[in-house]
Structure 1
Amino acid sequence: MKLVWALGGSFAGISGDRMYASYVRNGSSGLWLALERWGLDGTMLLALLGVFLLWGLVRPWGQVFPRWTLPLRGRRVPRWLPLAPALLGAATLAPYGVVGVGYLGLCTAGVTRIRLGEFAGEQSALEVAWVGMCGFAGYGVALAVAARSYWRRTGARAAEVG
């Protein structure tokens, strides 16, 4: 959704230009606005960084620096390096996303109403909110699962076995 907007397309009745105008109106930084003009949404770039973190938690190069990290290659990755952001992300994104999905379920069922913000109608606001909240919930839960796996694989007993 953010990539569509950053590339100038429309999603849920909002064009990329209108989204850019809202960033300007809300006081976004010059760097953020420049990235948007180049078709690079800042939150999308942060999501890519998060995917890199997830891969590092489940792949071997998350435990031993790979050869493309020239000065560090072959050394063990300090256990806290991937676990700190993973646990922080899981502790914030999973509850936020899960509670948000619950709230959106209530909005969709008509129990409560969603705030429209920049959107012309409730349906458009719900479309964008569902995309965002499912993304936050899914990523937060994935981080929790991957961090637990990494924690177990790199713990004291795992080091003794390896």
Structure 2
Amino acid sequence: MAALWALVYGVLGVAWALGMPGFPWGASDPDPDGALSILAATTPRSGWWIAAFALLTAATALALTRPAGSRLPLFPAWPIAAILVLVIPDSRLMMGVAYTPLLLVAPLFGWGLGGATFADAWPWPVLNQLLCVLGGLLLAAAALACGHDHARWFTPERGRKAVYVAAGVPLVYCLTRWAWALGIPLGVDREFLAAGEDGLWLAGAYLATFGALGGVLTLGLTQRWGEIFPRWLPGLRGKRVPPLLAVIPAGFVSIIVTVAGLTYLRATVAGRFALAEWGAWLPECFWPVWGAALATATIAYHLRRRGSTPAP
């Protein structure tokens, strides 16, 4: 599947290089000043490089189908997967995921959201990022299947520590956004705060609450209620929680928060932020730590659930 994805995407790269519209970066990307995407300076002619990268990805994926015993294909597999999953996407991927539930319920309450639509949250360049993440995950899954014992790296004890980190890191971001919604200029000045009084900080508080709720759910990766549905859930009480019900969303969130954090780190290194407004960017710079901890906790949970008994 990873090889098939790479071949199809390679064909797209060749088509863009030959003039087909739809190149998802550069001038056709709605990112106004190129501050988000690491590929903002590319042109459709870069499609040839995309095709070459896709060919390397396909060859690596096919090499992973060889009989066990050779680790050589694993060396390019992991860097390629990391590029597709963590480097090519940017923070808009997280924003699209976070705002989708809000866009679904906004019409029920008459919220205008400034006229924002699903097309604004998911333009083609951002949908393309999802495609790149899919390709990276397929290659990573193939590499994991061909790898050796991962349990010694993701022990229950490391998973438990990672859960506490993953639940705690987003709280710094949450505190700033809740404070702004209440009119408290935490980490910013009054002028900055006034710029969002038209409802922008309410949206920020929504995202903060979303993150805090995610932190609470993260605790379930080491708690009994993360493996056995609690008693207060009618129809489900006492039944085992399907592992993928936790692994899939937690794994995806670990990706998008890491990507968003790396975007903020790149912007910070480029000097795009003012120190006096640290509340607007510093909490996000710790999101790669959040994402790494959540990924560690998720993998440890997955390995523990494979033929294991529920946590006490």
Determine if the TM-score, normalized by the shorter chain, exceeds 0.5. Answer: yes
Q: Give, as a single letter, the amino acid of the residue that structure 2 aligns with 1:124.
A: A
- Choose the corresponding residue for 2:233, options 42, 45, 69: 69
Partner of 2:197: 20
Larger radius of gyration: 2
Residue segments in structure 1 that go unaligned for 5+ positions in a row: 24-32, 107-111, 116-121
* Aligned length in residues: 132
Q: Give, as a single letter, the amino acid of the residue that structure 2 aligns with 1:3.
A: W
Q: Distance in 1 between matches of 2:260 and 2:237?
A: 36
Residue segments in structure 2 that go unaligned for 5+ positions in a row: 1-175
Deviations 1:120-142 (A, max 9, x none): xx2234442111221x2232122
Q: Residue 70 of structure 1: CA displacement? A: 2.7
Secondary structure class of the residue paired with 2:299: helix
Partner of 1:138: 289
- Aligned-residue identity in percent: 24
Pair 1:56 & 2:220 matched: yes
Q: Distance in 2 between matches of 1:150 and 1:141?
A: 14
- Choose the corresponding residue for 1:113, options 271, 285, 297: 271
Q: Residue 63 of structure 1: CA displacement? A: 0.5
Secondary structure class of the residue paired with 1:131: helix
Runs of 4+ displaced beyond 6 Å: none
Partner of 1:93: 257
- Choose the corresponding residue for 1:10, options 172, 185, 188: 185
Q: Give, as a single letter, the amino acid of the residue that structure 1 aligns with 2:195.
A: R
Tell me if structure 2 keeps the 8 A contact 1:79–1:154. Answer: yes
Q: Residue 22 of structure 1: CA displacement? A: 6.5
Q: Distance in 1 between matches of 2:271 and 2:194?
A: 27
Q: Distance in 1 between matches of 2:179 and 2:243?
A: 37
Secondary structure class of the residue paired with 1:41: helix
Tell me if structure 2 keeps the 8 A contact 1:6–1:16. Answer: no
Q: Which has the higher contact order (CA 8 A, sep 6+)?
A: 1
Q: Give, as a single letter, the amino acid of the residue that structure 1 aligns with 2:197.
A: Y
RMSD: 2.6
Q: Residue 72 of structure 1: CA displacement? A: 0.9
- Choose the corresponding residue for 2:308, options 135, 158, 162: 158
Q: Distance in 2 between matches of 1:20 and 1:8?
A: 9
Q: Distance in 1 between matches of 2:184 and 2:277?
A: 17
- Choose the corresponding residue for 1:124, options 254, 259, 276: 276
